Structure 1
């Protein structure tokens, strides 16, 4: 028995301290408000940007784009192609697992790509080149083609919705026309179905089984190391309410700040604004329904080229001059690789010209039903167009709803004529990704079709160099002006805002919360 000494008492106390359980580390939670509520969680089912934002956290991709626009391996460890370009072999990284613990296999990847490809414009081009996906073994995916397709990696790593996310085999077997209801991915966050409160919030949690790539994160590529425990997506449809919550510290991040509150937000303590240009800008569009009157008539559609005043719309929306391109007549984003002036003279705002053009059509007063998202900048754009439509002689019926209802309504061929929307610039920089051109003659809301465009899109995807693709982009744009699938109401930046306690937040118009620390 040891004598009771001061030293022994100290040693005993130290041993007891080591034996006692340490207090649990406080969980780190980020509360964020994104552009809207995520209501469609199937990553292949819709082109809605909010579904893509949700999916990049929960699912993963074989390849991904970096900040320079280059395509990098993501789930893929290494790859090779045959000399003739007709056979590609992709070897998966070790340690990839789905959220239910099952390993990710090449068969999961093959079936996921087969489900996704028919629903995507670039995927359909890949299929047209004879693409077949097969698993050579558990870790090796093989792509065979009937003819060379130079943009294989661009398709597999594209960030444009719907993105080719990878699902478990059992979910990938569900037809693409049917939404999956079990949300299991292999991405850096898991979706807590039990904590989902539609209309209020959803919770994503760090996936402990996720193995990030070793290189630093770079836009959508690289190592997605999660350094928080929980990501709570709060639903706040009113941007002003969300901005007030941001200033009060009740939320940590708001994807779209209201333009009229920017001066106040810039002065607020503890808040950083993120306003980016280039590919991180947005393109606003009025999407027309070609399947129902009055815009089933191409002559009536073309009247709209005289009814959209981009500078007036951007001013009404409240976009500060430093965040706006005052006039952009290019379908493929101004100041981008494929910016085009082909047929741009068609875009000529004039109420008088619109009146004269409409008088020459067979328009008989059918109402133009406009779907408007309440409280959004899209609604402001719609209100200006509605005013101009009436001034030119159209009958207009404005219907106000939330974005989820617009998504449901636009899926029907009847009951609407036009809706206003804005999209990430990265989605609109090329004929192959521009929603309303790439989907020409496809089963896609708006149902615009000109048989001259799909062959040109195929030629674009097979073009040998940039010069050839630019020439084709001009040809496609000239036809698109004639077809009028959509009319742009402007190119602009929407700043995001976040609390200064967030460190290493990726600087992007895409909301991304890997690598963020608090």
Structure 2
């Protein structure tokens, strides 16, 4: 292992050099650099550029520069208007929602955005996006009520509506109606950047939209004024974490996303070329179970696996430095209105004997549990390795299937191909925003009467003070039925060039309002 790491470390600078040389030599569009262009190293190749169909953070990170939602989040995760002129008007019974659009917003095609664009876009979102499908079940009618007015009629008051419309991942992206099709061929939005070019496994290039219509309020999180100071954004897939580190240290990348925690010391000693970016309360890694078919369609087997594993050990393997993680049963931190200890006795049991008994009671006959993971997020892989060993101690045969992230995102849609997959999600203030398994149709396919009853009560209670304690029922159900396991909470490490000015740490990194020094 030591020799392998030393060999890899010697190769990394050459890999970075080769990567950038290939980009410059194979891609004329990149070789002729504009006045300012940012090279942004991402964890891999985006599986799609459709922000509705692809719920991965990578797609949301890239395409939030091209498309905008009606609402977004400020720095404190309050919902604020983006394409909407202001907050919506609700009828007295909370069922009719009226949204007025800003005047004069330009699409990348040059014409003005109107209410029909919004209605067509939202209908596509309801059809294509897992979160959109969940919201669609709550909508009785969706129509224009004027050139710049949209009206939604709900079956009942639906508390998560605005937060669902604001999320960048699986985005309710507003598109030009003439470009709304399946699959997307033309990416025509309203954002500060417009789509220029994609070359698979090489880059996605966005270029500044000079006709962009910004909000006037001061920038605040994802909300407020957006300005495209950098002429061109180049999102480069760099699936090997060590290569992202070396590229940041060498100055090849202006930004490198989601780096191994052990890179922190090297970044701090980089001599001013690169600076670490720590994003606190970034998210939570979790395990998704295939409840549709295979060995984990059996709830008893899922409970056995939950009993066998030790999330504390897994988090230590994934992040190492205790400054970067916490292992705790509550899905939301103390101080959140959704903090709950419900189900805590089922968390971090690490009891192989009990787990073996539960597996036998569930009819386990030595079948292999297939764990789908990727090395592009190094903490996913490290946690999966530890989990496999924990399962083996309980007499449960485990096998890792290690693929690139793009392949994982595609393969997880095939219920015959896996039993558990490893992923992570942002730690967001609205429970229905993550993970997508709380919605409908997401891989894992959790859909039980208990889930429907618990979420019906939770989502149709609009008063926050009454809604908060209902989350405890949902959290308890997750521990009882085990559709997924929340492993813990973590801070993330990325890196930025010291030439990149005004970058604000964010769950989905954004590069409007950011400048490059000459």
Shift in Å at residue 106 of structure 1? 0.4
Change (3 A) 1:490 1:216: same
Secondary structure in 1 matching 2:276: strand
Q: Aligned partners of 1:69 and 1:260: how far apart in 2?
A: 30
Alpha carbons of structure 1 residues 148 and 443: separation in structure 2 relative to 1, 3 Å: closer
TM-superposition CA deviations, 1:311-344 (whole Å, max 9, x none)? 222222233111111x211234565331221121
Report if the CA contact (8 A) 1:121-1:433 is conserved. Answer: no
| Distance (whole Å) between structure 2 residues aligned to residue 401 and residue 158 of structure 1 | 27
Cross-structure match for 1:15 = none
**Separation of aligned partners in 2, 1:220 and 1:343:** 34
Tell me if 1:473 matches 2:471.
yes
Aligned residue number for residue 271 of structure 2: 269
Contact 2:500 2:515 in 1 (8 A): yes
**2:230 is the alignment partner of 1:221:** no
Distance 1:486 1:147, change over 3 A: closer
**How far apart, in 1, do the equivalents of 2:322 and 2:179 lie?**
46
The answer as to 2:173 corresponding to 1:165 is yes
CA distance in 2, matches of 1:122, 1:180: 19
Partner of 2:338: 338
User: How far off its partner does 1:210 sit?
Assistant: 0.7
Matched, 1:368 2:369: yes
Larger CA deviation: 72-81 vs 364-373: 72-81
TM, length-normalised to structure 2: 0.88
- d(CA) in 2 for partners of 1:359, 1:26: 63
Q: Which residue of 2 aligns with 1:206?
A: 208
Question: Which of 164, 171, 189 pairs up with 2:193?
Answer: 189
Please state whether the residue corresponding to 1:408 is helix, strand or coil. helix
Among candidates 501, 506, 513, match of residue 503 of structure 1:
501
**Aligned equivalents of 1:252 and 1:395: distance in 2?**
43
Which ranges of structure 2 fall in alignment gaps of 5 or more residues?
1-32
Q: d(CA) in 2 for partners of 1:225 and 1:131? A: 37
Distance 1:263 1:374, change over 3 A: same
Report what 1:140 is aligned to. Answer: 149
Matched with 2:118 is: 109
Stretch of structure 1 that moved more, 507-516 or 71-80: 71-80
Q: For residues 343 and 315 of structure 1, what CA distance do their matches in structure 2 show?
A: 22
Q: Which moved more, 1:237-246 or 1:311-320?
A: 311-320
CA shift in 2, pair 1:431/1:241, >3 Å: same
Aligned residue for 1:455? 453
Which deviates the most, 73-82 or 360-369? 73-82
Aligned: 1:86 with 2:90: no
Which structure would you say has the larger Rg? 1
Residue 306 of structure 1: aligned partner: 307
CA distance in 1, matches of 2:375, 2:164: 35
Task: Go from structure 1 to structure 2 and tell me whether the alpha carbon gap of 1:364 and 1:420 turns closer, same or farther (over 3 Å shift).
Answer: same
1:184-213: per-residue Cα shift (whole Å, max 9, x none)? Answer: 2211111113xx221111211111111111
Retained in 2: the 8 A contact 1:333–1:425?
A: no
Normalising by the residue count of structure 1, what TM-score does the alignment of the two structures yield?
A: 0.88
Residue 42 of structure 1: aligned partner: 50
> How far apart, in 1, do the equivalents of 2:398 and 2:131 lie?
35
Which of 143-152 and 183-192 deviates more? 143-152
Give, in whole Å, the separation in 2 of the partners of 1:265 and 1:346.
Answer: 38
